[in-house]
């Protein structure tokens, strides 16, 4: 039968830098470090976009994005920088999930509020779940609600 490796480990986050490495010829370590750096830089933009989609005004979304990088825990593998940087815990796939979680939840919120955007919500939630080992309960619940609403309204 074998070990269910795809259930316990996430492969998609590692494929993206590998493809960039193969296409560009740049060293894998450099591509991996730049991917970490860019994801950390994109997280506030992800938070801003999600807050704007959730109908926060520009000022509130801007301040939310500004302080989103300050979220920290005391060595609990949370969203703080020590989880992702060189001397940290190496939670690379969680970094992808951290960037994808706010837009996924915002897209699900838009589906629940307006009844539109089913494809985006399903795509973001699927991508989010492909990057997190624990399959964050909130995202899973939101995804199930979107699927239920799509099925009930005959969109699928």
**Residue 83, pLDDT score:** 77
Instruction: Please say whether the beta carbons of 94 and 83 come within 8 A.
Output: yes
Query: pTM for this structure?
Result: 0.77
pLDDT of 18 higher than 90: yes
CA 91 to chain centroid, in Å, comes to: 13
**Residue 110, pLDDT score:** 86
The average pLDDT across 92-110 equals 84
Band (pLDDT 50/70/90 cuts) for residue 79 is confident
Q: Give 142 or 22, the one with higher predicted confidence.
A: 22
pLDDT of 135 higher than 60: no
| pLDDT cut 70: percent of the chain above it | 74
**Residue 48, pLDDT score:** 97
pLDDT of 81 higher than 70: yes
**Residue 156, pLDDT score:** 52
| DSSP structure class, residue 89 | -
Q: Give 147 or 97, the one with higher predicted confidence.
A: 97
Neighbours of 154 (CB within 10 A): 6
**Residue 22, pLDDT score:** 95
Round the CA-based radius of gyration of the chain to a whole number and report it: 17
Neighbours of 134 (CB within 10 A): 10
- Taking the C-alpha atoms of residue 137 and residue 72, their distance in angstroms, rounded to an integer, is 20
């Amino acid at each position: 039968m074998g070990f269910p490796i795809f259930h316990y480990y996430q492969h998609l986050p590692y494929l993206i830098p590998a493809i960039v490495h193969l296409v560009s010829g740049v060293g894998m370590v450099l591509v991996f470090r730049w991917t970490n750096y860019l994801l950390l830089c994109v997280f506030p933009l992800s938070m801003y976009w999600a807050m704007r989609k959730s109908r926060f005004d520009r000022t509130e979304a801007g301040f939310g994005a500004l302080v989103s990088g300050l979220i920290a825990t005391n060595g609990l593998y949370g969203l703080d920088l020590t989880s992702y940087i060189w001397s940290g815990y190496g939670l690379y796939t969680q970094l992808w999930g951290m960037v994808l979680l706010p837009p996924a939840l915002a897209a699900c919120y838009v589906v629940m509020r307006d009844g539109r955007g089913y494809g985006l919500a399903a795509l973001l939630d699927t991508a989010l779940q492909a990057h997190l080992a624990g399959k964050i309960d909130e995202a899973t619940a939101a995804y199930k609600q979107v699927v239920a609403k799509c099925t009930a309204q005959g969109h699928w």
